[in-house]
Structure formats: C-alpha cells, structure tokens
Structure 1
Amino acid sequence: MKNGFRQSMAWLHTYSGLLVGWVLFVVFAGGTAAYFRSEITFWMQPELHGAALKSPSAAERPELARRVADWLGQNAAGSPRWFITLPSEREPLVRVVWQKPPGQAPAKGRGRFGEALLDPATVQPVAGVRDTRGGDFFYRLHFDLHYMPAIWARWIVGFCAMFMLVAIVSGIVTHRRIFKDFFTFRPRKGQRSWLDAHNVSAVLALPYHLMITYTGLLTLVFMYMPWAPQAAYEQPRWQGAFEAEALGRPERPQASQRAAPLADLGAMVAQAQQRWQGVPAGQITIDHPGDAAARVAVRQTSGLSLRMRAPIAYFSGAEGAFTGVSDEQPRAAVLTYDVSEGLHVARFASPLLRALFFLSGLAGCAMVATGLLLWTVKERPAHLKALQKGERGSWALRLVDGLNVGAVAGLLVAMPALFWINRLLPVEVAERAQMEIHLFFAVWGACALLGLARPSRGMWRAQLLAAGALFALVPLLNAATGGAHWGVSLPQGQWVVAGFDAVCLLLGVGLLGAARWLRRPLARRTAAAGGAAARQPQAQGLAS
C-alpha cells in the first residue's frame, strides 16, 4: 500500500469522486429539486393559481372516486388499466392516467398512456392548463437521466452512486480532523480555501449524504442484484411471484374476456377507509375495468409514515367484494427495505423537514462541485510550470475544467431556464411538455460547449451571472405571465407560489454573489513565473 493507508485512501477518495462527479452533480441537483416536485409543477401551471382548490376530506372521497370512475368509463373505455390519484394538500387536483388499448399506442414510452387533470368539484378536465412535466422531470432526471433507455440510466446512476459511497467512506477515513476542520474556513487562501469549502459542505450534512447514497442504491437493489430471487422463483415471472410472497401483494390478474360493469367504486373506497379507522384513500388502481376479472386496489394516503408503501385494500371489481390486503403488517426485512426507500424519497416530511432535506441536498451539490474544483486547484501549479518552460500543459486539466463548467455552471443555467421556457412557450404548442425538455437540454448543451471551448474564469463568471439573473428574476416572470405574484399569493395564503418565488430569488442572489466574487483579482499566485503563465487564456480557470 503505497505511501501508507491514509494516503491510499486519499487517492481513492479523489478519483472515486472525480471520475463520476459530473453525473453525481446532476443526480444531486435533480433529486434536491424533486423534494418539491409537486410545488414546482403547480408553479409551472399558472392557470391553477387563481382556482379555489382544496383537498377533499376522507368523508368526501368515496363520492369523488365514484364520479371519477364514471368519467373514466366515458373517456377511457377499453383501457386495460386505470390509475386515479385523489387530491392531497400538495396536489389539489385529481390526476387520472390510463393505459391505452392495444393497437392505439406504441409498445414502449409515455405514449402508451393517456393523462388528465380533473377539478375535484366538477370532475371535468381543467380547461386551458398548459402541458408540462414540471417537477416530475427533475425527479425522473435524477435516476433515469434522459434520451436513453431507463434501464441503462439506472445502471449508470447506480454505478456512480457506488463510487459516491466509496468516496464518502474513504473521505471519512482519510480526514483525520474531520470535525475540527468543519469549524475552519480560511478565505482567499487558494487551495486551502477550496479544501475548507469542500470539508464544510461535506461534514455539514454527512449523515444525510450517507443515508441518501445508501438508500438510493437500496431502492434498485433487485435490479442490480437479482440473482437470489431469480434462483428461488420460476422464470420469467419471478418478479411477480417474489413480490407476492415477500410483500404480500397478489399478482396482477389476467382478463377473462367476459364483460361485466365495474361495481360501485365509492363503496369500495369507503370500506377501505373504514378499515383504516378513517385514514383517507390516496390512490386507486383498477385492472381490466369492464371485465369480469377486474380488480380494484385502494391505497392509503402516502406520506403518513416513514414507510414508502402504504397499505392496500383489494376488491373484486365486478362484485365490489373485499378480497384481501397487503403492506399492512410487513415482515421485518420488508419493513426495513420499505423505510429505507421512504427515507430516500421523503414523502413523509413536513414542510419544515422537507426544507431541511432540500438544504442538505444543496450541501451535497456544493460538496460535489467543490470536490471537482479542488482537483483542478491541485493540478494547476504543475500545469503553469509546464507552460513557463514552453511545454504543453495538462490536457486532463483542460478537459476537467471544461467539464466542470458544462456540468456545474451549465446545469445551473438550464434549471431556471426551464421555468422561463415554461412561461414563454405558447400554451398551444404541440407536444409542449417534451418541447420544454428539449429546450432545457439545448440550453444546457450550449453552455457545456462554451465551457469546453473556453474553460476560463470569465466563462464561469458569465454562466453564473446568467444563472443568477434567471433565478432572481423568476418572481417578476411569474407576475408578468399570469401567475400569482407576491401581492396576490401572500394575502391569499398561496404559500407554495410565494415560497417558490422566494427560493428562486435567494438562489439567484447567491449565484450573483458568486459571480461578483469572481470579479476580484486573484489573491495569490503560485509563483512569479506561474503568475505570468496564468495570464495566458489557456491557463485560466475558476480555481486559479
């Protein structure tokens, strides 16, 4: 073990973080935004800001479910599956999704499903609401990436998360004064300042970083390591059999091809809520509606506990008879897995706890970004000496500098740009939700190309200025494009809209402050000759 154990761990920490750091920044940024994905979606649909929407009580839900089933029977007849999400405090509309009948949809992709948002008062689609993926885009981005099959993306993200776990553990091992350095920050000290910033952002939320990385891997453990259940259960339907025994969930029924009307869905919801002592129903899944073998699954409202999976009551769709439950009293191993997944998603969190998760996620973004920049700080002195001698500088340093600008600053520009695209893109544009996403990646791609072409301190400053301005001006954008501005949202208690505007303003001020800091001359040079070389455009960088 060269140079001793700690030095070996330091090397492992450096390169296990560097090699996947750009993907990890995307994962952290998307996951952090996803803590408020419902709120982001609501802000991105300003047509809803003036509606007097409220979450129905448990007593009102059976009748609402009955009316939604009637609407689906008229508008989604022939569908093999219906999904109903009843309103909640965070999502005030009824969301219905149905699988399109065979022959009317592609074999794969989101085009297989139809979707609508219904007003709970009228049980009719809300007119004029713009189509957008909203916060769900950030949620999917952080583990499905985009423009690639989901299975590939999840393997990539899982591989990077494993490297992240190695980097965290090796960082703890190699950091001898981990808690002392947490209270130490030395500004304008070059490499030492970047190291202090990295230490503070890492230690500040260290329990969160360990938890979120480990539980993120655990959520897809059966995709990464499926061999045990594959060996124990018959192929190729081992997943259904495994879930049926481990989680107590019955396998999805097969259609009987005999027509039968759906029984009273409201009565089933009322019976399920009575079983749960008044806890309201949250989601309803109906397999093969209109078939004699139809099954109704009524899921309890999620977010009431640490568990990811709320209890489910099952009913015969044709007769309305109660047939069983699942997830009410899970085994210890299943409960452990369930709580781990619930911790990762944080649906249980109150607004204050959700805000703490959000701040911890921001600390994770800072930890990854400062770690990437710290590598360039350490490599730059050798690069400058080589330039002084007339030799070629480090191509790896230039590449990492460019990737840092593209992955970090570029994403910081693209995220608020999505909000501007959402408000400025005409509502009637075809495939509008996908167009927003395409333009998001176009902005990000342009920033990345500029960063790779000129990875300089000036490019960092320009992109941070753009990101800060886009974030800080979001409240004005909201007011100018039909949203509930602070003069309306605060008096009316629309805290979701007011809070979104406030958070964007704070993020914008922070990024503008970082851009202003970059205007200052470099406090120190590594050496007189190094300082001369640093004036060459190819030798400049944020971490100089």
Structure 2
Amino acid sequence: MARGAAGVSKTVRKNNSRAAANKTAAHEGGLRQAMTWAHTWIGVLLGGVLMVAFFMGSVAVFDREIDRWMMPATRIEAAPPGIDIDTVVPRAVDALAAGKPLREWAVTLPEARTPVMIARVRYAAAGGQIRLADPRTGALLPDAGTLGASSFFYPLHYNLHLRVWNIGYWLVGLAAMAMLAAIVSGVIVHVRIFRDFFTFRPRKQLQRSLLDLHNLTGVLALPFHAVISFSGICIVYMILVPAGINALYQQPNTFYEQALSGYSRPAAGVAAPMAPLGPMVDAARARWGGAAPAAIRMWNPGDANAVVKISRSVGDRVSLADDAAYFDGATGALLHHAPLQPAATTQRFLTGMHFIAFDHWPLRWLYFLGGLAGCVLIGTGQLYWLDKRHARHGERGVRLAAAVTAAMTTGLVIATLAMMVANRLLPVTLPSREFIEAGLFFLVWLATAIHARVAMRPGSRTLVPWRQQCLAIAALALAAPVCNGITTGDWLPLALARGQFAVAGVDIALLLTGALALTTARRVRRVEAARAAAAPNLEEAKHAERA
C-alpha cells in the first residue's frame, strides 16, 4: 500500500512538473511570438525612415569633408592659429551687410575640419544671408552655389527636409523610438544572441543568408544602435514632449534661456560704438581655461544694449555645452556666464555623443561603420520580409513594397551620388544652383522607385532589379572623382600632394563604393544566371510529380 501510494505521488509530481514546464514554454513562446510580430512590423512600416536616418547620419559623420569636395572655393590653406578677430570678423560682416542695418550677425570661426569662416546676418527690415569668408583676410568667398553635405545631407538625417509643423522631426523621432522597441524585441526574439554573432552562411538560401547577416550586424553594433537612437530622441525632446514647457512657460524662449543658461535683453534704441571683440574673446578664454572660441554672435549691433555671445569650441570634449559668455557690446563688460544645470548638462552630453563634434578620428570611423551596420541591419530585415512574403503569397501586394525597398536602399545611394556628380557638372553661375541640385536628388530618388517597379518581370524570382541599380551606383561613384578632377584640377594624386586630404578622402571613398557596387552587380548576375538555369529543371520536376 505504501509503495503504491508513493508511486502515485511520484507520478503526480512528474505530471505537475511537466505541466508547469509546458506552461512556461507556452508563455515564452507567446512572448516571443508577440515580439516577433512587433519587430517585423516596426521594420516594415518605419524601415524606410530609419534607413534614411541611418544612411544620411553615416554620411553626415564626414559632412565637413564632403563640403570641401562640393565647395571647391573652400579648399584654401588653413588660417594661422591666432587670427586677428577685430579685423577679419567685422570685415566679413560689413561686406555681407552691404550698408544695411542689421538685427544680428554671427560668425563661426575656422577649425581643423573647416578652414573657412561662416558669416550670417539678419537684416533689421527682413531676410538675411549666409556666406563663407576667408579667415586670413575676412574677404567673402564666391557663392558656393550648393547646400553641401552640412546643409542638405545632414538635415535630411533628422528632419527629412519636412519642416512644416515639424513633421520631419516627428517622423524621425517616432522612428527612433520604434528603433529602441525593435532593439528590445529583437533581443527577445533572438535568444541565441551570442551564437548569432558568430553565424553567417552566405552560400545558403537567400532567406537564411539575409537573416544571418541581419542578426550579425544587429548584435555587432547593438550598443551603438541603442545609444544613437536614445541620444537622438534626447536631442529633440523639446519638440516631441512640449507639454511641460507649454504648461509652465508662456514664452518657450524663456525656457531655452534658463535651461541652456542663455541671456538676452531688448535694444535701447540709442546708437553707440561697439567695443573691440578681441578683449572679450580673451576674457572668455580665461574663463574656459584657455579653450578656443568657436563662434561669435551679436544682437542689436550699433545699439547701446548690444549683446555679444562668445561660444566655446567643443572639439576637445564630448559635451555640446558651448559654455557661452555674454558681453556688453558697447563696453565689453561681462554680462552673464553660468554653468548649465545638471539636467541640461546631461542632455548636452548625450547630444555630444550623437553629434561626435569632438576631434577623435578613430571613433569617428567607428561611428561611420556603426551607421553603415545599421543600414545593413535595416536593409536585410526588409529584404528578408520581402523574400519570405514573395515565397508565400507570390507577387500580389509585394511589387509596390519591393519598389519602395529598392528606393530606400540602392535608390538612396544613387540619388546621393547623382547629386554629387551634378554638383561638379552644373555651371557655378547657374541661378538657384543649390535648389536645382536638391531637386535632382529627389527626382533621381523617385526615378529609382519607378525603375524598380517597371523593371520587375512577372514570374521572376528576383523582384528588384538589383544588378541594374548596382551598375548605376558604380557608374556614378566612378564618374564623380573624374568630374571633380576635370572641373577643379584636384585629381586624387594632386590632392594628396597638395595636402587636400578631405578631397582625396572623398575621392577614395567614391572609388571604393564604385568597386564594391561593380563587384556586387557581377555577383548578382551570376546568381540570376544560376537561377535561370535551374528554373527549367525545377519545372520538369514539378511536371513529373503531377504525372
């Protein structure tokens, strides 16, 4: 009896343990299934916005170097360390003002990556201008005729050039928050995260290879993707979460001044001569422990209540806190200089991590590679979903998604290269040249989607004409350095000999891009030929099975 009771008890315990294990497995399976659904549709719905943000963010890591390539007039010798600020700054501002009264002006001083000054003025009546100036003399340089990387590719990264009602900021901010959710859900879905790091099978079936590459790039750059997405949200938090500011401040500018330790005062309406800028810069440097100034800005110039803001260079630290010092424009006396509050200090540090404005070339290259890894992560995820859906459901409802995928991957690269080639071929004196360049970018970008949609052959295993678009990338990437050499004389060997390393670096990157695209096109051609050869055998096997 005792033995029988013990056996029954043991059996019950085993059954209970098995039921608990099954329940746990079912729970885990349900969680993973839910996370898989969320992970998939985040990529499908917002993958295009994320691709633009990551690709243009990667390009923007070297925006100033690309500016040198796109603006030949700025390829000048570096200014001496101690430029005469009281001579070159007023000369550039006066030339840009052209005798008109000003509401304010600002001059960004040269630094290692930007050998020119950037002068901005706002007229008292309306409007304003931005021009580049030679820091050695203060003379204005010829109109660049282009927005360049810093004013086109870089803003495309964070606002998609959709400034109306801040739509672009909202879209990119939503995509960044979705990216964080995708990272968390991806970690839950891929429980074998360390095994995924070492697994890549390029010769397997397309879906398997795409998933391996997706997992590999996701795990490899996981910390970077998490930090860059979170810090991107922190940059625009005042746009994404304005409720607290609107509830506590009638004027948002008051909040910005308090949060960023700013200062302002109204004009007195009384004319007064301006004090020299040099002593103000020296006083600011003394407060910064000898750090270099980055920019000088003046409100209400020529007024007794003029205010001069001198901002600190951030090239020697991560934080983007400019530690600005404010001076009386008429007397040169210090008006305001206070450290940031802890919350603002944290936000400025996170912003600096995202912008990488500090001088650290190895880390800059790691940011660039991390951004490209993000592009591969997003692109392989989209292609995996596309190929899987095509295999299950055929071409119905997939062709449009394939065209959009092509535009957001190869099409984005083609549009970027097309703009760079146009930058070298369009006449410098062409009116509104910078807007024509930007218009060509968007037209070519749209054309890649149309080409992908039109070129899809019904019944083809490959939905997107990858080979043709890779050949377009190769042609444009290889043509750009040639166009640069013909139009400026700065051929790659001469650029290296002259010390134009920014121009030479862009040329080398273009040549490598062209070589990679050409290699990819050749490999795609071999794969397509192999699939075409295997198709008749597959059809014969199907007919044999039916018979």
**Is the structural similarity TM-score above 0.5?**
yes
For 1:537, the equivalent position in structure 2 comes to none
Aligned length: 505
TM-score between the two structures when normalised by the length of structure 2: 0.87
Distance 2:386 2:341 in 1: 49
Q: What does 1:505-516 align with in structure 2 at a 5 Å threshold?
A: 505-516=511-522
TM-score between the two structures when normalised by the length of structure 1: 0.88
Query: Which of 242, 253, 260 is 1:247 aligned to?
Result: 260
Return closer, same or farther for 1:432/1:403 CA change in 2, 3 Å cut-off: same
Distance 1:371 1:530 in 2: 30
* Residue pair 1:186, 1:196 contacting (<8 A) in 2 also: yes
Query: Which of 59, 69, 78 is 1:54 aligned to?
Result: 78
For 1:539, the equivalent position in structure 2 comes to none
Distance 2:535 2:472 in 1: 33
The runs of 5 or more residues in structure 2 that have no matched partner are 1-26, 541-547
Deviations, residues 204-258 of structure 1 (Å, cap 9, x unaligned): 211111111111111111111122232223x1x0x222233333222x3222222
1:418: Cα distance to partner? 0.9
SS of 2:262's partner is coil
Query: Which of 294, 299, 315 is 2:306 aligned to?
Result: 294
The runs of 5 or more residues in structure 1 that have no matched partner are 105-111, 385-392, 534-544
Q: What does 1:147-296 align with in structure 2 at a 5 Å threshold?
A: 149=164, 151-189=166-204, 190-233=206-249, 235=250, 237=251, 239-250=252-263, 252-296=264-308
SS of 1:130's partner is coil
Matching of residue 44 in structure 1 with residue 70 in structure 2: yes
Query: Which of 322, 325, 328 is 1:313 aligned to?
Result: 325
SS of 1:260's partner is coil
For 2:498, the equivalent position in structure 1 comes to 492
Task: Show structure 1 runs of 4+ deviating over 6 A.
Answer: 527-530
Distance 1:47 1:150 in 2: 35
For 2:21, the equivalent position in structure 1 comes to none
1:317: Cα distance to partner? 1.1
Distance 1:2 1:312 in 2: 53
For 2:6, the equivalent position in structure 1 comes to none
Larger-Rg structure: 2
Q: What does 1:140-151 align with in structure 2 at a 5 Å threshold?
A: 140-146=155-161, 149=164, 151=166
Deviations, residues 460-495 of structure 1 (Å, cap 9, x unaligned): 211111012211333222211114222212122221
Deviations, residues 86-131 of structure 1 (Å, cap 9, x unaligned): 11111111110111332x4xxxxxxx3301111122211124x531
Query: Which of 344, 347, 367 is 2:357 aligned to?
Result: 347
Return closer, same or farther for 1:116/1:150 CA change in 2, 3 Å cut-off: farther
Return closer, same or farther for 1:92/1:528 CA change in 2, 3 Å cut-off: closer
1:69: Cα distance to partner? 5.0
* Residue pair 1:46, 1:484 contacting (<8 A) in 2 also: no
Of the structure 1 ranges 372-381 and 516-525, higher mean CA displacement relative to structure 2 is found in: 516-525
1:529: Cα distance to partner? 10
Return closer, same or farther for 1:322/1:76 CA change in 2, 3 Å cut-off: farther
For 2:524, the equivalent position in structure 1 comes to 518
Matching of residue 459 in structure 1 with residue 473 in structure 2: no
Return closer, same or farther for 1:12/1:229 CA change in 2, 3 Å cut-off: same
Matching of residue 370 in structure 1 with residue 370 in structure 2: no
1:357 aligned partner, one-letter code = Y
* Residue pair 1:165, 1:214 contacting (<8 A) in 2 also: yes
For 2:482, the equivalent position in structure 1 comes to 476
Distance 1:530 1:38 in 2: 55
1:149: Cα distance to partner? 1.6
* Residue pair 1:47, 1:483 contacting (<8 A) in 2 also: no
1:187: Cα distance to partner? 1.6
Distance 1:453 1:254 in 2: 60
For 2:543, the equivalent position in structure 1 comes to none
Query: Which of 489, 494, 501 is 2:507 aligned to?
Result: 501
Instruction: Tell me which protein shows more helix as a share of its residues.
Output: 2
Q: What does 1:388-403 align with in structure 2 at a 5 Å threshold?
A: 393-395=395-397, 397-403=398-404
Return closer, same or farther for 1:176/1:498 CA change in 2, 3 Å cut-off: same
Distance 2:344 2:441 in 1: 39
SS of 2:139's partner is coil
Distance 2:42 2:331 in 1: 57
Return closer, same or farther for 1:147/1:162 CA change in 2, 3 Å cut-off: closer
For 2:423, the equivalent position in structure 1 comes to 422
1:46: Cα distance to partner? 2.1
Cα RMSD over matched residues? 2.3
1:429: Cα distance to partner? 0.6
1:66: Cα distance to partner? 5.0
For 1:18, the equivalent position in structure 2 comes to 44
* % same residue: 38
RCO higher in structure (CA 8 A, sep ≥6) = 1
1:521: Cα distance to partner? 3.2
1:135: Cα distance to partner? 0.9
